Amino acid sequence: MASSPAAVRELQQDLESQANALSKIQKDIAKNHQVRKQYTIQLGENELVLTELELLNENSNVYKLIGPVLVKQDIAEANANVRKRIEYISVELKRLDGTLQDSEDKQNSKKESVLQLQQKIQTLQAGKSKS
Amino acid sequence: MEAAARGTITSLETLFPPDEAQKAARRVEEAIADRRNELLRVQGFVSDNSSLINLVRTLPEELSHDIMVPFGSAAFFPGRLVHTNEFLVLLGEGYYAERTAKQTMEILQRRGKALEGQVESLKATMVDLEAEAKFFDSTAAEAAEGLVEIREEYVEESEKKAPGSDSLDSKRDDMQMPDEDEEYARIMARLDELEKEELEDGSTSDDDNEENLAGDEVEDDETGDEDEDAESSSSFSTSDLKHEILEIKHKSEHPVQKARGQGQEMLGSIVSKQIGGITEQPLTDQPFSGDSKMQFPAVAHSFSNSGQSISKEVSRSSSSDAKFSFSKIEDSSNSTSRQISDRVSSGHKAFTGSIIEHDLGLPPIQSAKSNLGQASVSSSSKPVSRFKMQKGNR
């Protein structure tokens, strides 16, 4: 039964590669979560800034901290900037959500294939031991 | 004796392995610790915010403040704080706004409200997590104790060697709530089944009948105890009681058996302990019929013998499902229980070790068997169930 041990070895190699792919996908998912958390916090902060900016009356001074420099900014410009940033962050979040979903699906399918491989290996080994 | 009752004994250990339950508990505890740290952080922010509000409130009170200005990381020099009403407030994301003290205070207050909202949500999640952790802890503890979940089908049960009364008790507690409705339906179904069986089977023998009757009596006693805690139970010694009980027993066989399964171990132990000087003891040695009602005769007599103590224990150990069946029985046996309770009071005071009921003019009960024989055939002025009548006639 020379073919069986070879087949078993082959299957085991397949299993290893699949397991690696699975762990990679899981890492991707974890990173996704992290980035999503970051973006969510930023989005909240920007919304706070927007509400405060709207409460300012027209002649107030707004400054932006760029590195070590505090630059005076036009209040309308600041408003527009903050709004654009909010939009950008929301779009990023949506994109991340899509990728997360894809990764999760891939993860599930990989898990299934890994399980199947494991089962095949087990049956082969059981068959070998019987014969 | 019937074969062991069909059913499944699943150890709680297999359902909720204690190791895994403990791991889960630990994980939840970690999550709780994380949340707690977050909570502390946010609460730190809240306190900082409020102290800042106070500062902003006091600064504009003076035109200028004399202060020690920090210079580098280890030096200060005296200076003056001017423009005490102008504040550059950080709005977030690198944006600053020039505001007066009053406006700054408003900004800070709004920020404080947002922080408090965060604190509330954190606390809510923590409460949920703590509930989860408690559940896991209790499951782990129970599984570690070796609790076993025993599920049985509703068939004629033989004596079942369940693992200890402790597991029975706790199992009963565990299974009580979910099973109540199911139990009730099952009890009703079994009542019907048993009645049919009674009618179909006929009497196997007089002895069996007597034993069954005694068993009935015992079962009824037991169930009566379970239902009517304070009442009855203890002095079921009169033969007319037996009649009543038999009547009740027929109706309550199913639930009794079920209850019996649960209370069996306890009763057995109680009976063996408390049967003293009573001729009923031989009953315990009698072979148990398929109905396994036999054990009840011993129990019943022990009830009467030992007085209230047993009844109290039994009633304490009674299960809810027994109660359901007994609610039905109670109606029919109310009269009996009343009599029983009356006799209980008298039985306590003047218990002589032999159960003799003179009030109703029924033949005295000397020993279980002979009494049973007498009871089964003695004519009673009390109404007896049609089953009993049929049995007597056969």
Those residues with Cβ within 8 angstroms of residue B194's Cβ, 6 or more apart along the chain or in another chain: B250, B253, B254
Q: What is the mean pLDDT of chain B?
A: 62
Number of compact structural domains in chain B: 1
Q: Which residue has the higher pLDDT, B32 or A1?
A: B32
Rounded to whole angstroms, the Cα distance separating B227 from B219 reads: 12
Residue B129 confidence (pLDDT): 85
Query: B305 with B274: CB under 8 angstroms?
Result: yes
- A55, burial (CB in 10 Å: exposed 0-12, middle 13-18, buried 19+): middle
Number of compact structural domains in chain A: 1
What's phi and psi for B219, nearest 5 deg? -60, -45
Q: Which residue has the higher pLDDT, A85 or B205?
A: A85
B68 and chain A in contact, CB less than 8 A: no
Sheet architecture: strand order including A62-66 = A69-73, A62-66, B95-100, B86-92
Q: Where are the beta strands (DSSP E) in chain B?
A: 7-11, 65-71, 75-81, 86-92, 95-100, 148-152
pLDDT in tens, B92-128: 888 888 888 888 898 899 989 988 998 999 889 888 8
Instruction: List the single best residue of B91, B98, B110, B121 to mutate versus A (max A Cβ within 10 A).
Output: B91
Residue B337 confidence (pLDDT): 42
CATH of the domain at A102: 1.10.287.370
Question: Hey, are the CB atoms on B97 and A82 less than 8 Å from each other?
Answer: no
Residue B34 placed within a domain = yes
Rounded to whole angstroms, the Cα distance separating B125 from B108 reads: 26
C-alpha distances (whole Å) from A46 to each of A57, A85, B51, B67, B107 are 19, 8, 24, 34, 15
Measured between CA atoms, how close is A59 to chain B, in angstroms? 10
B115 and chain A in contact, CB less than 8 A: no
Rounded to whole angstroms, the Cα distance separating B327 from B127 reads: 40
- A106, burial (CB in 10 Å: exposed 0-12, middle 13-18, buried 19+): middle
pLDDT in tens, B189-248: 888 888 888 888 765 544 444 444 444 444 444 443 444 433 443 444 444 444 444 444
Tell which residue, B217, B221, B266, has the closest CA to residue B246.
B217
pLDDT category of residue B155 using cuts at 50, 70 and 90:
low
Those residues of chain A whose CB sits closer than 8 Å to some CB in chain B are 42, 45-46, 48-49, 51-53, 55-56, 60-66, 70, 73, 78, 82, 85
Residue of chain A whose Cα is closest to the Cα of B91: A49
pLDDT category of residue B147 using cuts at 50, 70 and 90:
low
Q: Which residues of A touch B91 (CB under 8 A)?
A: 48-49, 52-53
Tell which residue, B310, B311, B301, has the closest CA to residue B354.
B301
As for the ipTM of the complex, it is 0.74
Residue of chain B whose Cα is closest to the Cα of A43: B93
Rounded to whole angstroms, the Cα distance separating B195 from B2 reads: 19
pLDDT in tens, B253-273: 444 444 444 444 443 344 344
B105 and chain A in contact, CB less than 8 A: no
pTM: 0.45
pLDDT in tens, B42-83: 999 999 999 999 989 888 888 899 999 999 999 999 999 988
Residue B242 placed within a domain = no
Does the pLDDT at position A127 exceed 50?
yes
Residue B45 confidence (pLDDT): 92
C-alpha distances (whole Å) from A28 to each of A21, A32, A40 are 11, 6, 18
Q: Which residues of B touch A70 (CB under 8 A)?
A: 88, 96
Residue of chain A whose Cα is closest to the Cα of B100: A60
Residue of chain A whose Cα is closest to the Cα of B95: A64
Q: What is the mean pLDDT of chain A?
A: 86
Residue of chain B whose Cα is closest to the Cα of A85: B93
Residue B75 confidence (pLDDT): 94
Q: Which residues of A touch B96 (CB under 8 A)?
A: 62-65, 70
Residue B231 confidence (pLDDT): 40
| Tokens coding A67 | 């590195």
pLDDT in tens, B16-45: 666 777 777 788 888 888 888 989 999 999
Rounded to whole angstroms, the Cα distance separating B99 from B362 reads: 102
pLDDT in tens, B346-380: 445 555 566 655 555 454 444 444 444 444 444 44
Q: Which domain holds residue A98?
A: 5-129
Residue A89 confidence (pLDDT): 93
DSSP letter at B61 equals G
Helix axes B368-377, B386-393, angle to 10 degrees: 100
Q: Which residues of A touch B95 (CB under 8 A)?
A: 49, 53, 62-65, 73, 78, 82
Residue B14 confidence (pLDDT): 60
Residue of chain B whose Cα is closest to the Cα of A82: B93
How many CB atoms neighbour CB B203 within 10 A?
18
Residue B120 confidence (pLDDT): 92
Rounded to whole angstroms, the Cα distance separating B10 from A122 reads: 28
B87 and chain A in contact, CB less than 8 A: no
DSSP letter at B3 equals P
Rounded to whole angstroms, the Cα distance separating A74 from A58 reads: 9
B107 and chain A in contact, CB less than 8 A: yes
Residue B205 placed within a domain = no
Residue B343 placed within a domain = no
Measured between CA atoms, how close is B97 to chain A, in angstroms? 4
- B140, burial (CB in 10 Å: exposed 0-12, middle 13-18, buried 19+): buried
Question: Hey, are the CB atoms on B97 and A46 less than 8 Å from each other?
Answer: no
Full DSSP string of B193-230: HHHHHHHHH--S-HHHHHHHHHHHHHHHHHHHHHHSSS
- A-B contacts at Cβ under 8 angstroms: 53
pLDDT category of residue B151 using cuts at 50, 70 and 90:
confident
Residue B393 confidence (pLDDT): 54
Q: Which domain holds residue B115?
A: 8-62+101-153
Does the pLDDT at position A75 exceed 70?
yes
Residue B76 confidence (pLDDT): 93
B95 and chain A in contact, CB less than 8 A: yes
Q: Which residue has the higher pLDDT, A106 or B394?
A: A106
Residue of chain B whose Cα is closest to the Cα of A78: B95
Range of lowest pLDDT (A32-41, A90-99, A101-110, B286-295): B286-295
How many CB atoms neighbour CB B101 within 10 A?
18
Does the pLDDT at position B274 exceed 90?
no
Helix axes B239-274, B368-377, angle to 10 degrees: 160
Instruction: List the single best residue of A52, A84, A85 to mutate versus B (max B Cβ within 10 A).
Output: A52
Rounded to whole angstroms, the Cα distance separating B378 from B375 reads: 5
Instruction: List the single best residue of B89, B95, B100, B110 to mutate versus A (max A Cβ within 10 A).
Output: B95
